[in-house]
């Protein structure tokens, strides 16, 4: 398993897609909060850490052609609202799919990828993105499906032109 820098790994929401589950109503919540948005005060002391499976579907998407500073080499890229199998929705980049093939309802799964790098020799920031690559099958019960391995090269070397995937 690829490991990111220590400070990044310590933030479960960014690295593991960990949220909380309300012991009062059963709702899965991401990112983690101290109160359930449904139960409010009734959830005090009843929220437990909860690992999201990483499986989801695309609810809405856009292709970014004019990216913010630092992401110019990735354009065009797809940003989407992903509804996780457990219910929460989040915004994430979609990788491993041609922009023209994107569609609402497309199944996706979480992958751990490089987000960006601070200069030539700087810190590399990792996090989750969602892949539309077909899956080989389901992993162990409660785990996200494993992606079919494809050709390497979705990451670029620092300073080299290309896309981060």
Q: How far apart are CA 127 and CA 23, in angstroms?
A: 28
- CA proximity to 64, closest of 54, 53, 78, 85: 78
CB 110 within 8 A of CB 144: yes
CA dihedral 97, 102, 103, 107 (to 10 degrees): 20
Q: How far apart are CA 22 and CA 2, in angstroms?
A: 30
Contacts of 62 (CB under 8 A, 6+ apart): 78, 79, 80
pTM here is 0.71
| pLDDT, tens digit (0-9, with 9 covering 90-100), for 3-37 | 555 555 556 566 678 999 999 999 999 999 899 99
As beta bridge partners, residue 20 has 29, 49
Distances (CA, A) of 74 to 45, 98, 115, 139, 165: 43, 13, 10, 30, 8
Over range 57-75, report the average pLDDT. 91
| pLDDT, tens digit (0-9, with 9 covering 90-100), for 118-161 | 777 777 777 889 999 876 654 434 444 444 333 333 333 333 33
Q: What is the pLDDT of residue 161?
A: 37
The most distant pair of C-alpha atoms in the chain lies apart, rounded to whole Å, by 53
Q: How far apart are CA 57 and CA 71, in angstroms?
A: 25
Q: How far apart are CA 51 and CA 94, in angstroms?
A: 21
As beta bridge partners, residue 127 has 113
């Amino acid at each position: 398993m690829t490991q990111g820098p220590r400070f990044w790994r310590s933030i479960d929401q960014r690295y593991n897609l960990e949220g909380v589950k309300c012991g009062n109503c059963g709702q899965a919540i991401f990112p983690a909060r101290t109160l359930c948005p449904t139960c409010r005060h009734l959830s005090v002391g009843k929220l437990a850490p909860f690992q999201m499976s990483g499986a989801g579907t695309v609810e809405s998407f856009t292709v970014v052609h004019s990216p913010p500073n630092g992401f110019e080499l990735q354009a065009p890229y797809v940003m989407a609202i992903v509804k996780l199998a457990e219910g929460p929705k989040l915004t994430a980049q979609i990788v491993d799919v041609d922009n023209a093939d994107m569609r609402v309802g497309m199944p996706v799964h979480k992958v751990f990828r490089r987000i960006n790098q601070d200069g030539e020799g700087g810190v590399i920031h990792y996090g989750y993105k969602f892949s539309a690559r077909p899956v080989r099958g389901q992993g162990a019960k409660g785990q996200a499906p494993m992606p079919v391995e494809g050709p390497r090269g979705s990451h670029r070397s620092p300073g080299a032109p290309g896309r981060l995937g």
